[in-house]
Amino acid sequence: MSKHPLENAKSPSALIDERIAELGDWRGETLARIRNVIKGALPDVIEEWKWRGVPVWYHGGMLCTGETYTSVVKMTFAKGASLDDPTGLFNASLEGNTRRAIDFHQGDAVDERALAELVRRAAEANVAKRTR
């Protein structure tokens, strides 16, 4: 008897691991670092793999994505426009009414403490919205 196709499917976490490994450069290192910050801030975060290859993190709703491009790793917060960003991490997609993003370029420092706080704020906003 043959297996159902989904039995052979890899978990989203395994696909993210593969993406990090296949990048094999600063982009993979940056994506891994971002992922570690997210998982450290929210140990029960849910990882998904969407849109043919984009890591997405959920906690009470969508938190953010981790997109990789040739010259940037983009962390887009689904509801970033509504989040307080006292350290000014958001540096991209600033014109929209909903999303905000952080573009990480090669050599950029990652303020892990501020990023973890932003991730927690995004999760709190999702939970607050669901309880209204």
**Domain region containing 94:** 11-131
Closest CA to 125 of 46, 58, 49: 58
Q: Is residue 1 part of a domain?
A: no
Tokens 């993190």 -> residue: 57
Q: Is residue 2 part of a domain?
A: no
Give the pLDDT confidence score for residue 5 in this predicted structure: 52
Q: Is residue 5 part of a domain?
A: no
Q: Is residue 4 part of a domain?
A: no
Token pair listed for 91 = 């540096």
Per-residue DSSP letters for 19-43? HHHHH-SHHHHHHHHHHHHHHHH-T
Give the pLDDT confidence score for residue 4 in this predicted structure: 47
Q: Is residue 120 part of a domain?
A: yes
Q: Are 73 and 90 in contact (CB under 8 A)?
A: no
Q: Are 49 and 12 in contact (CB under 8 A)?
A: yes
* Domains: count for the chain: 1
The domain spanning residue 126 has which CATH number? Answer: 3.90.1150.200
Phi-psi group of 108: left, alpha or beta (phi > 0 → left; psi -120 to 50 → alpha; rest → beta):
beta
Between CA 93 and CA 39, with CA 51 as vertex, the angle to 5 degrees is 70
For the packed helices 26-41 and 12-23, what is the interaxial angle rounded to 10 degrees? 150
Q: Is residue 57 part of a domain?
A: yes
Give the pLDDT confidence score for residue 97 in this predicted structure: 87
CA–CA separation, 71 and 103 (whole Å): 9
Q: Going residue by residue through the chain (132 aa), what tens digit of pLDDT does each one get?
A: 445 455 558 899 999 999 999 999 999 999 999 999 999 999 999 999 998 889 999 999 999 999 999 999 999 999 999 999 999 999 998 888 899 999 999 999 899 999 999 999 999 999 887 665
